[in-house]
Structure 1
Amino acid sequence: MLNSLDYSPMAPQRGHNKSKFLVMMLAIFFLGLAHGYRIPKSIDHDEIYYMNGNVRCLRCPPGYYVRSHCTSEDTLGTCAPCHPGYTYSEHLTGLTECLHCAVCRADQIEESPCTITKNTVCQCKEGTYCPPDDSCEICLKCTTSCPPNEVKQAPCNSTTDTQCAPPEAGINLVAALLLPVLGIIFLLLAAVCVWFFCFRKSSDRSKWIPKILTVSLKCDEASSEDTETPFLSKRPTLHLKENITPNEKNEAINGAFNMFVDLVPAKKFERFVRELGLSDNDIENSKADNTGVENQRYTMLSQLHQNKNFDVNIWLSKLDSMKLGKVAQDITAKLIENGWLKRST
């Protein structure tokens, strides 16, 4: 018979091995069911029995320990329950005492308390973590900020640190879905613009599509011709004003440098100075010796001046050949407006 403290089923008579085994399994099943334990479908005899010398005994169910061993083959000895909150046994056991419950460390909190069939479950406190495959002797502090050029993908939890990744990683799917739609919209807008600027005066509405395509090609050809036309061939060259003092000359040169630094696009600046004759070594030295992008670019222009490669008209012409004619026009206008340079007559 079973009770709350221990149980010791009566030994069955010989010649009834099958009935004896069935009775023992039912006893273990109902005790295990009471404590939330399920016996596996495929049973290993080594998991059910243990050896007491030369006698094979049935193991006690989870939540119990062996108080006294069996004396008859394949029977159950006396099983006693573990002490709630202090000891436990999680599986079928042949041990003569229960296992001691774990006590959470100071850097942990108790997720679930110890029961007679389950050990204490501890986890790291908020703001700390411990990887599940780690021995977790101490909880590690969560990363509070991501490295440069990365964004937070997932917050820190008790088992995983903060997850960071480049921002592009999070928008690849959205971009893949939006790009085709944006492409179609762009083509429609381009067609409308071509019609509005190059074709709106035409009265033959029945041939819009072929005419739009034809006019579009013509417009592209005209645009190409305009960007390839040298800037200085259309406009007079620039020169310093007469009777200029050395200080005024230096001020004019420094002012010109600043105009080029401010207005030449960042992505094309190194190509600009390289095509004017500045070596790659000079470019790298300018970067290494100066902090701040503007100081680096100013040093590159100063190096061209020292190498006797400074001529504002050549520099403006170079911008025009790089299809930066609008930038050349803006620089010219500002240089003349500031009174540093004059147009040739």
Structure 2
Amino acid sequence: MRKQQLFAYVLVALISQSYTVSVTGGQTLKGTCLDNEYWNNKGFCCDKCHPGYKLKEKCPEPNKRSECVKCENGTFIENSNHNDNCFSCRKCNRANSVEKSPCTFRSDRVCGCKSGYYYKKLGDTGWECSRCKECGSGQMIAAQCDGQQNTKCQCKENHYAVNKNLCKPCVECQDECPDLCKSSTPPNPLKSAKPTSPPGSIPHILVPVCACITVLALGVFMLYEGIRLWKKKRHASSSQKSSPASEDQTLIITVSPDTEHNESVPFTNQQTEQNGKLPDCVPREVKIHEFFYFVLDEVPIGRFKELVRRLGVSEQNIDRAERDHRNSKDAHYQMLKVWSDSGSGGGNNVLPWHRIQMFVDTLKEMYLVNCADNIESKFLSQDPSTSN
């Protein structure tokens, strides 16, 4: 019995919290008004005004209508209401703004923006027309600028973003360019278990190809050098074989001025054989090509241009020799030829003794003493100045 009384008390308390009893003569409960009604403080429900109308007088008693009036020009109310005033319509007076739809007593004026601008909200009530964004270099339009949405840009294909307004083309494998990291050859299913090479590594096929090209180039270079050295030795040996006979026929002796006839008298082969050797007063004349090839092997390549400059060869002739001959020894031979042609005496293809002595003295001035001594011992061993 006690439990039933407690349950009754709780039920009465819940009902009393949900409803209030009207203090007027009627017994209408607060909270029982319909959606198109509102609670009047006099203790009954009144009807609401329709959209576009405002409340002028509340209903005087239950089942009586409220008095409503239409909103004035420039004002509106969108929903059913019991407001005393209407809302003012907004004005499209912002820069670059236009009117999309006019103000009516049931709806507010709708504002928009000119072409090239979009509607941007500023807080709860503020707004402005902002210029549409233009996509930068390497970008394309992902979404057009329209209404309240600005232009959306994205990188073109095979490009990556540098900043918001710039995309650059992919040129190598990197995180932003994964397409360049893919192998151009289809994977072999038999080798799929093996680890793949890291992105950007050189394909394995290039290694043997580069090695073959290097070996082939080295072989061609060695073959070229071998042929060149063989031709040089053959030319030198042929010149050495022909030089003794020609030297015997071109030996000259100069008669002193107090003799009756001032002329040169050639020695014959018979006189040379009788004497056994040349007299000390007769200088030895050397074939030009024999001297040149010996000098080319003796003088360091790095000092050669300095040597010919000291010998009087002009820079113009040095440059011409280097342009005409890719091989350095051929160019140096041409420089020596220019030097020998600028001298006098000796005859055709013959270098006189005093020119060789000048050559040796120049080498000594350059501190190339070993080169000078080797040339002097080979070509100036019968120096007339050393005779008794």
Q: What interval of TM-score do these two structures reach, taking the shorter chain for normalisation? A: 0.3 to 0.5
TM-score between the two structures when normalised by the length of structure 2: 0.35
TM-score between the two structures when normalised by the length of structure 1: 0.39
